[in-house]
Amino acid sequence: MKRRAQFLAIALNASAPLSLATLHESLTGSILTALVLLPLGVSLYIFLKGGWPELGLYDVVKDSRLGNLQLISWFASYFLYLSYTIDYAVFYDFPGGALVRYATLVLLLVMTSTLLLQRFQGILIPLAALQVILVFFGWHASFPGVSLPNFTDLLNSSLLLVCVTLIPYLKVERGSASIIPLSLVTGLLFLTIGSFLETNNSDLYQGVSMLGLVALEAIAVGRVSKAMRIRGEWAVGAFLGTSLISLISPLTYYNLTIAPSVFLLYLSLLIAFVSMKLRGYFRLFSLVTAVVMGYGLYQSVVVGDPTQVLEIAVGFLLVVVFSLLLGTRWVRGS
């Protein structure tokens, strides 16, 4: 029973459903988003159907020259995500005075540190349950009307579900490929429900969804750091260090780190899906998904200001240098 609950919690938290519901997307937009996400869902499902990977999408490229680049890009992206997302949720999404905010911050830092050490993973269940419960409170009927979203808006809303790619990095029982369609369908269901409902608590609800994602990401980053021969205490120390630095100016830290983080995430996913060798016509699904990830990579550059573009360039250069210096066979299990 507990394993089943954990399975459902992973699927639900990965799709950040409460955040999707707050978008108040048109019904047409929700349907088209589902179509855009179909190749991603099929690609991941077929990939996992062949056997659960040891280290997520890195397994696709671990024997190629791009293996180091893919893994380090992914790790750097999500490591940055942990600190800047917690900051944003606490200081800009959640209500309350300074005392409440800092108390919440301390609790979240403790939670994330514990998850990085691969402990207390049962927290995923109440975080998932909370998102389901909140969809029944604080909403009112609202119909956005029928309209066709432009292509850019459609792709941007589709990219919000990209965190479903976290699932292969988690420790799930073999034969659990069905978790991918379950997660995507859950997210799309909440996106559709949000077409008919609106709330004044959007910031709070988005913050709750962010915490579900942070929990998943901390577990995934903890597993990957162990494979990269980084001791758990070092990973926690680095996380707490960046979190303390961010307190100097949370908004500045967010703006400085989000651009390279997003760029490196899409870079890692682009490499993985381009390299994914699916059989027959399924290969087309992975290539279409790679195109969508390429669009995300492009958008992460063009929407940034000059400072953010410079940060992206520096981050990319550092990742490339580390990828070349580390050589091969440095990852456990590779």
pLDDT, position 329: 65
SS3 per-residue string spanning 15-34: HCHHHHHCCCCCHHHHHHHH
Tens digit of each residue's pLDDT (9 = 90 or more) over 26-66: 778 778 888 888 999 999 999 999 889 989 999 999 888 89
By three-state DSSP, how is residue 194 classified? Answer: coil
Tens digit of each residue's pLDDT (9 = 90 or more) over 232-283: 899 999 999 999 999 999 889 998 999 999 999 999 999 999 999 898 889 9
C-alpha 72 chain-centroid distance: 16
Tens digit of each residue's pLDDT (9 = 90 or more) over 139-156: 888 876 655 555 455 555
pLDDT, position 195: 86
pTM of the predicted protein model: 0.92
Residue 36 CB contacts under 8 Å (≥ 6 apart), including other chains: 154, 155, 158, 292
Residue 164 CB contacts under 8 Å (≥ 6 apart), including other chains: 14, 15, 40, 41, 44, 180, 183, 184, 187
The rounded mean pLDDT for the chain is 88
AA identity, residue 28: T
Whole-Å CA distances, 31 to 3, 158, 188, 277, 287: 32, 11, 8, 28, 21
Interior CA angle at 38 toward 32 and 40, to 5°?
Answer: 125
CA dist., res. 215 & res. 98, Å (int): 24
By three-state DSSP, how is residue 139 classified? Answer: strand
By three-state DSSP, how is residue 328 classified? Answer: coil
Tell me, what DSSP letter sits at residue 150? P
Q: Hey, what are 251's tokens? A: 């908004």
DSSP 39-75: HHHHHHHHHHHT---SSTTHHHHTTSTTHHHHHHHHH
Q: Hey, what are 87's tokens? A: 């900051």
Average pLDDT over residues 91-109: 90
Domains of the chain plus CATH, in order, are: 2-139+152-326 (1.20.1740.10)
